[in-house]
Structure 1
Amino acid sequence: MRMRLLVVGLLVAFMALTGCAKNQMSTEPGTQAGENAAVATDSQNSNGLSEQDLADQQRQAMAAAEQEITQNRIYFGFDKFDLDAEAKDVLKTKAEALKAHSEWKMLIEGHCDNRGTEEYNLALGERRARAAYEFLVMLGVPSSNLKIVSFGEERPAVDADNEAAWAKNRRDEFKLFK
């Protein structure tokens, strides 16, 4: 009896796995089954977009995320390296983009105005870059994806000696790298 059940069970399993030739569908182009498969693939996209449209949307989203990271700077007060509410908001947006694209690495550049000694401004620029770095890490960005550098007063955004220029030069800038 056990042997008979075992044989019947094996036959049922074999038939279920292999199926009948009548039930197999052709996926050759031009056949009804092939056309149905193409329709099914197209209908899998719930937005009604083609694969090309989806790829274009992904490229646009990636470009927008890259622009968010590289275009938006944060600024500091005179002789300061603490992050104000506006700087934290900018960094939160950058953190979301970096977490969404975990393969990206970002360089944080600390900059200063031209007042103070070169050594002092290099140290202040590093503290500014480190403040952004630590905040991003606190938000969940892997520290291995971040690097910092200080340029001190070497690379001014605005080359002038007035309060408006100095305010633009006291900043962190952000660059993507591989």
Structure 2
Amino acid sequence: MSVEIKIVRKNIKYIRVSATTETLLVSAPKYLSERDILATVREHEAELLKLIEKERSKKYVNNIGAGEIYLFGELLEPEISKTLTSEVKVEKFYREKLEEVLKSIFLEFNNMTGLVQDEYKIRKMKARWGTCYPTKKLININLFLAKRPIDEIKLVVLHELVHLKHPNHSKDFYSEIAKYIENYREVQRRLKE
């Protein structure tokens, strides 16, 4: 198994396993030997790998070496992903694809809301999906939003556009968002996972 396995011994009766995108966390009874714990993990390897894949798909984590690259919430076809052999190539690909999608999403919400930015930029950001500078009418969109499903991208665009009218997160701000995306809370929850 090519993932990190962390073993934590506890006062429990049975082995419990949880997963992150890169690690299996094995909670095991104090009395079990490491050999027995690892034997149990190997015995259930297929199921545990599925658990990790499930976590990765929730987070849209790319594994470039394995050809697993997400675009708009879906794994790319192998013939496309095998051409994207470095982070630089993936980022260039994301920028092109996100630009295509953002043009139509911004146009859709500009027409729907009457709110229009002067400019939007695609940037690599670590902590936010988007930012808005209302006085400049400038919106920045995170490059890695290209991994996420279209409904999540639409919510980020609308969220930032509504900041042109309501520069805070007031009740009026969320009421404005709800006019255009009724299930925004559910989409927002997925974005925060």
Structure showing greater relative contact order (alpha-carbon pairs closer than 8 Å, 6 or more residues apart) = 1
Largest Rg, 1 or 2: 1
Q: Write 1 or 2 for the structure with the bigger share of helix.
A: 1
